[in-house]
Amino acid sequence: MLPSSPIRPLAFGLAALLGFAGIPPAVAQISAAPAILLRPAAVFDGQDLHPGWAVLVEGTRIKAVGPAAQITAPVGAQTLELPGLTLLPGLIEGHSHLLLHPYNETTWNDQVLLESQALRVARATVHARRTLEAGFTTARDLGSEGADYADVGLKQAIDQNLIPGPRLLVATRALVATGSYGPKLSADVDVPQGAQEADGVDGIIRAVREQIGKGADIIKVYADYRWGPNEPSRPTFTQDELNLIVRTANSAGRPVVAHASTPEGMRRATLAGVETIEHGDAGTPEVFRLMKQRGVALCPTVAAGDAISRYRGWAPGQTPLPERLQQKRLSMAAALKSGVTLAIGGDAGVFAHGDNARELELLVQDYGLTPLVVLRAATSGNARLFHLPDRGTLAPGLLADIIAVPNDPTQDIMALRQVKLVLKGGIIFKQP
């Protein structure tokens, strides 16, 4: 969260920083006005579209939202006329890895084993800026993938206004059962792993507490994974181990999320009390009904599977739909029929950061959701699921995390590809 001290000194320092970072002047224009009146064609408040509304921002917060004729700006306020644009809450990315970059550039194994942490952090600062400029003002970063606690430092750098980026919720190293993750070389060679191995009562309690003590906002567990390179995913942790992970994390006020793609891994994680299941590729009607009963949300990450299929040669419209995506279509149909709540997150890092809207587009184009449902989920819905009551909706008193796109995104999800304005905490990071 940005400090509550006057904006002007902060704005100057951040503008200078952005300039040194090589960001175009249009992006680096940071507002130093005590208040900003935003006058668009319409406002999507996180729930519904309101033509003719305006938003008044004072400091880091929203002061007023409503019909433009009813909002009066104070003396000295800056007015931004935004004809043809729709304002909406800053989007919330539910699943990203800022310390990864696309696998068609460098394989996951090589990123973990061959790239220095300094290189990965430097690249992550660019990823953070691109994510923010794409309209995502908050992101859950679900694992540093072999970069230890570098995500904690990245979050601190953003919070201290050293670099531009979204507000982060970080999971640090993530938890895996010994032997179940990677990278893997020969049986004779031990190499650094992409997550922290932990087993049994003492090992699990220690690992969870260690991650929390180092700065984890979230504990992520791999409830299933491939034990060998040519094997299908199978459950990793026992039910008792998963229960212990959730109990230990929750006692420290941290939620647990689970990577799970098999029905049994999803079932165990759901019974343990995780808050979201990530991926859920082979989910069945039975396990989705259980998730619905237990209040566990699904973050389907459809963009990750789409990207990996393309890397492997799939050409939409030219080659048959890969088996992986056929299965995803079936599982998503079952999930939607069950009424399970959806979190919106694409697993950015598998594909390019800044391309985060890809998840929303695919949910509309390939999985039958409406733009309005997806927008609600990526704003107010994600804010509710991630325990972020100060954002996700445009309402008085909430953080002034606001973006603007052309036309009506509740009808055309592709409008999110043209983010014209980005405010975070009342500071303009991008404007027309």
φ, ψ (nearest 5 deg) of residue 31: -70, 135
Q: Where are the beta strands (DSSP E) in 261-326?
A: 276-279, 297-299
pLDDT tens digits, 91-131? 999 999 999 999 999 999 999 999 999 999 999 999 999 99
Number of H helices, E strands in the chain: 14, 19
Domain range enclosing 409: 7-90+393-430
- Same-domain check for residues 50 and 174: no
Neighbours of 316 (CB within 10 A): 11
- Contact criterion met (CB below 8 Å) for 20 and 12: no
Whole-number pLDDT of residue 228: 87
Say if residue 134's pLDDT is above 70.
yes
Residue 334 CB partners (closer than 8 Å, separation 6+):
283, 284, 285, 288
Say if residue 258's pLDDT is above 90.
yes
pLDDT tens digits, 361-381? 999 999 999 999 999 999 999
Average pLDDT over residues 230-239: 95
pLDDT cut 70: percent of the chain above it: 92
Say if residue 17's pLDDT is above 60.
no
What would the DSSP string read from start to end of 374-398?
HHHIIIIIHHHHTT-TTSSS--TTS
pLDDT tens digits, 266-313? 999 999 999 999 999 999 999 999 999 999 999 999 999 999 999 999
pLDDT tens digits, 345-363? 999 999 999 999 999 999 9
Average pLDDT over residues 230-237: 94
Residue 347 CB partners (closer than 8 Å, separation 6+):
95, 96, 97, 278, 279, 301, 303, 304
Comparison of pLDDT for 1 and 244, the residue scoring more: 244
Average pLDDT over residues 85-95: 98
* Coil, helix or strand at residue 358: helix
- Same-domain check for residues 343 and 324: yes
- Same-domain check for residues 103 and 142: yes
pLDDT band for 18, please (50, 70, 90 cuts): very low
CA distance 176 to 193: 10
Average pLDDT over residues 251-259: 98
Model pTM greater than 0.85? yes
- Same-domain check for residues 66 and 142: no
- Same-domain check for residues 182 and 61: no
- Same-domain check for residues 343 and 414: no
CA distance 400 to 393: 10
Count the domains in the chain: 2
CA distance 89 to 46: 6
* Coil, helix or strand at residue 255: coil
How crowded is the C-beta side of 186, counted as CA atoms within 13 Å?
2
Say if residue 23's pLDDT is above 50.
no
| Inside any domain, residue 2 | no
